[in-house]
A and B are shown apart, each in its own frame.
Chain A
Amino acid sequence: MWKLRDIVVAAILSVVCGAIYMGWDWITNPLFASTMSPIVGALVNGLWWIAAGLVPYIIRRPGAAFFSEVVSACVEFLFGSPYSLGAVISGLVQGAGSELGFALWKWRRYDLIPMLVAGALGGVGNSIQWYFEYQGDQYSIPVIIGYTLVTMLSGAILAGALPKWIGDALLRTGTLRNFEIAKQRR
């Protein structure tokens, strides 16, 4: 059962993540994707669904990954992302991917393996959108496969392991005492 504090904390963290996405939108493309290659650009993709790892890791509720990723994507859009409504669609597909990862363990396990898998599956959602919306279909097959694999790897690290690390650091500050992450630890 979602408690009100779970929802509000999910919303606040999503907003913070949305702001990060917005910055990431403007920085990454010039730095990586355009100058080197789409595959190199895919290395940094995972950060775009960090909320879908961080929020479920803390509040541990079914739907947390999807909810937070959609909210953070909407915030990214509101802040003036160059992807505009495309960002909202990203939120839907990336969030659905990560949610699927947590669903595989019936929303009961949140240790490293499920986190990595959820992050990687978020990358699948990302790659599907890239293929259809961002002209991914115009690249050669090896590039498309490479892009997808690197995106999944990036998701596992940046949207799986990194949020777990942040969540653990937050847990040590004692501020998460009333949340599921701390309760399951006891």
Chain B
Amino acid sequence: MTELRDHESKRLLALRNVSLFYEQSETPVLSNIDFEIHEGESVLFLGPSGCGKSTLAMLCANLIPQAIEARVLGEIERARELSAPGGVGYVFQDPDAQFCMLHVADEVAFGLENLRIAPDAMDLRIQSALRATNLDVAFAAEHTAFSGGMKQKLAIASALALDAKLFVFDEPTANLDPASSRLVFERIAELHRQHRSMIVIEHKFDPLLPVMDRVLLFDASGRIYRSGDTQTVVREEWEWLIEVGVVAPWKLRPTERLQTFPAHSFIKNHPLRSKDVAPAISIVNGAIRFGEHTVWRDVSLTIAKGSFTAVVGPNGAGKSTLLQVMRGLIPLSSGQAQVFLQPVEKWNKREFAKAVAYCFQNPEYQFIYERVGDELADRLLEDEIPEQVLHLLLEFGLEGCEKNSPFALSQGQKRRLSVAAMVKDEHEIYLLDEPTFGQDAKTQQMIVDHLVRLQEQGRTIVLTTHDMDLVGRFADQVIVVAEEHILYEGPPQGLFRDRELMHRAHLLDECMTLVEEAYPLVQSAKLEIPKFEDKQGREEQILLQQRQSFLQKLNPGFVLLASLAVTLVAMFAHTIAQALAMLLLAVFLMAALAWLSPWQILKRLFPFIGFYVLYVWSLTAFAAVGPHTQTFHFLFYRLSWTGFYDGVVLALRMLSAVAFGALFLASADLADFIVALSKNFHIKPKFAYGMLAGIRVVPLFQAEWIKLKQARQLRGKDVRLSFLRPVTYALPLLSQAIRMSERVAIAMEARGFQGAVAADAKARTYYRKVSIHVWDYLYFLVLVTVAIALLILV
């Protein structure tokens, strides 16, 4: 690899005859790639899934082979400013897996620290990066609460703060709903206006066509099929894009959509069946409330038997909830839901499972076996594979996978497996939550074909989707859920005539081109209010550095060390008086140094008292006793007063450990603690920051856990058994955790967290102002001395 000289810097990157192999594999992921990108140019990568688009993008960003091992043949020339840390800004697909800090300012500053920017200069750069991305949030805001679109904007801001010379967007909207996708598209358009260089990989490319200068088409084998002017190539190669599976066959050409949805897009023109057909599902005056929050109300609808119904609307409007109500997974807060004229809650569980099938958005939740074949047979198979399973494998393109783990399949294969498992038994009603979301066109087509076939056999289909082309082509009935109500219920034609309604419900966000005036950009801002409101706004930035109590001014590392040391000292408390003294010391410090009120102190200690009663019992019943001690016999227990006494000492000691723990928790901020570990205690940054990156994904698991449990309930007869197989619970969660941590690590390295700044605590700068003062030593020494003195004196 050579660096380009400055006078040639118009060209940022040149690849000549580049091929790439992942370890062990003999088949190249990329073959004979010739590619150049110049300053100010924006390039769109299109190709079927698995064609190596992302690999090429990561190669351009130097993430391969730095963060991901691979064998690269051929010649790569990179401009100097691109090889420097932070030279390439990378925005990844999963908005949750590219952050490693908790607060907005820390997140942007993380990249700046990697560039060793002086801490005093950071605030200004953070502020201007946030402003340039139109992200109006407080410095101290926690980004976990952001919508996916806001997270991606934050990722863009982080790259802007580093003054990246090339931006790579690697399917940035694949996990986003249309309104959030729109925000990202607007940012990409803005970057293009500023003549930034960009590589964009995006399946929902319609809105981006005007702002992409060039397009690269990849074929399935990882070669470049064609490249050239975006509009021309997409127009001329539309049939090819359908054929290789980049776009679904029902998708309208971008040019067609510029006029409204044309009449010929509706293949189905048969009118909705009249009311005398028995309804499959009906809801009367339904409402769903979670505490104060109303998801939707006054919902009355009928879904005719044998119809194909699509539920559409913005994310968070309650589409999935509506589907879950139909399956009886969530009870209505008020009103009634009926399936085949019988209230949902009156159905016998087994019969209900037979009548109504449900398919979750994340296919992994439904897998309870370790082999694909078992999954399809719904039992552990011997070597022989039944006829029906073979048939299903073939039909859903899974042949040869029967021995594999369901979790080892590709995204598309997993979805096909979950649909195959759902349709293998006959049901009357099929409920599917976004069955085509995030899938390649081939898988989408396979699924939709199957649903259409089911409908032809008289089954009822209800699905949620964002794909309006799919709705137009296949649905008999469409239900729009938005603004706490059902805004529309009827045939798609009627909805598509009502442009105003479609905009209101954000149904066009991901297909309208960005230049179209009929749809002003500001519209999408409405959904962008984060779940919390920081009233102080920007003043919060000061709060981030501001400490209140004495304890909060101390270094969190020292506070923890002191608490741990005193807990160790407390081990030597052998009388009730000594143990009580330890507890009172902690309580005193909680009040005096951490400024907790008596009520707050009580609240922190109280929950544990019941637990310690058990310890008292343990020792009372089982402690060794001398020959002359009086004991009572009760069942097989032998109770003694000495044991009871020791038990109380232990309980008090444990309570004091809780109190010293609470003392630390009341003072410490997690991010401060982690930074202190690296900055003050010189733990390698990759360990300190890696730890924080791991810890911060925990809240994401809570939601996953609930969904996983629901999915398990639906397996009917297997529920009770699956409890005995913890692996069926652990595997989906753990494998997701591992995938996520790999992504997080790559994203951190992409932001310059490599080499010395990751390995040496002194090689980086720190945005947070944690430091060690003489007070920290004093606190530690005084506390430990007082504790020892108490033990001696009492």
Q: Which residues of A contact B (CB under 8 A)?
A: 2-5, 7-16, 19, 26, 29-30, 33-34, 37-38, 67, 71, 75, 77-78, 80, 82-86, 88-89, 132-135, 138-140, 143, 166, 169-170, 172-176, 178, 186
- In the bound complex, CA of A140 to CA of B741 (Å): 47
- In the bound complex, CA of A134 to CA of B614 (Å): 13
With a CB–CB cut-off of 8 A, which chain B residues contact A172? 370, 405, 408
With a CB–CB cut-off of 8 A, which chain A residues contact B691? 7, 11, 71
- In the bound complex, CA of A166 to CA of B407 (Å): 14
- In the bound complex, CA of A175 to CA of B690 (Å): 19
Task: Give 8 nearest A-B pairs by CB, closest first.
Answer: A11-B694, A174-B408, A7-B690, A173-B407, A140-B624, A84-B661, A5-B745, A8-B741
With a CB–CB cut-off of 8 A, which chain A residues contact B618? 29, 33-34, 38
- In the bound complex, CA of A7 to CA of B745 (Å): 9
* Stretch in B262-270, B287-295, B472-480, B725-733 with 4+ CB within 8 Å of A: B725-733
Digitize B392-431: 1 where CB-to-A-CB distance is under 8 Å, 0 elsewhere. Answer: 0000000000000101100000000000000000000000
Please, which residue of chain B has its CB at the minimum distance from the CB of A41? B618
Are A7 and B687 in contact, with the CB atoms below 8 A? yes
Most chain A CB atoms below 10 A, which of B612, B695, B697, B734: B734
- In the bound complex, CA of A80 to CA of B8 (Å): 60
Are A85 and B695 in contact, with the CB atoms below 8 A? no
Beyond A84-B657, A89-B564, is A139–B624 a contact (Cβ under 8 Å)? yes
Whole-angstrom distance between the Cβ of A73 and the nearest chain B Cβ = 11
Whole-angstrom distance between the Cβ of A65 and the nearest chain B Cβ = 15
- 5 A-B pairs with CB atoms under 8 Å apart are A5-B745, A8-B742, A13-B734, A34-B614, A170-B738
Whole-angstrom distance between the Cβ of A24 and the nearest chain B Cβ = 13
Are A30 and B614 in contact, with the CB atoms below 8 A? yes
Are A82 and B624 in contact, with the CB atoms below 8 A? no
User: Does residue B758 face the partner (Cβ distance < 8 Å to A)?
Assistant: yes
Whole-angstrom distance between the Cβ of B85 and the nearest chain A Cβ = 15
Are B738 and A175 in contact, with the CB atoms below 8 A? yes
Are B608 and A82 in contact, with the CB atoms below 8 A? yes
Are B735 and A175 in contact, with the CB atoms below 8 A? yes
Whole-angstrom distance between the Cβ of B745 and the nearest chain A Cβ = 4
- Number of residues from B at the complex interface, CB < 8 A: 70
User: Does residue B646 face the partner (Cβ distance < 8 Å to A)?
Assistant: yes
Digitize B562-591: 1 where CB-to-A-CB distance is under 8 Å, 0 elsewhere. Answer: 011001100100000000000000000000
Q: Which of B567, B615, B738 contacts A89 (CB 8 A)?
A: B567
- In the bound complex, CA of A172 to CA of B409 (Å): 11
- In the bound complex, CA of A30 to CA of B564 (Å): 27
Report B631-669 residues with CB < 8 Å from chain A CB.
Answer: 643, 646-647, 649-650, 653-654, 657-658, 660-662, 664-665
With a CB–CB cut-off of 8 A, which chain B residues contact A80? 607
Most chain A CB atoms below 10 A, which of B643, B657, B730, B758: B657
Please, which residue of chain B has its CB at the minimum distance from the CB of A134? B650
Additional pairs, 18, CB under 8 Å, beyond known A34-B621, A75-B695, A170-B738 = A3-B745, A5-B741, A7-B691, A8-B742, A11-B692, A11-B693, A34-B614, A78-B665, A83-B657, A84-B660, A85-B567, A85-B660, A89-B568, A134-B650, A135-B623, A138-B619, A169-B730, A173-B731
Q: Which of A67, A75, A170, A186 contacts B734 (CB 8 A)?
A: A170
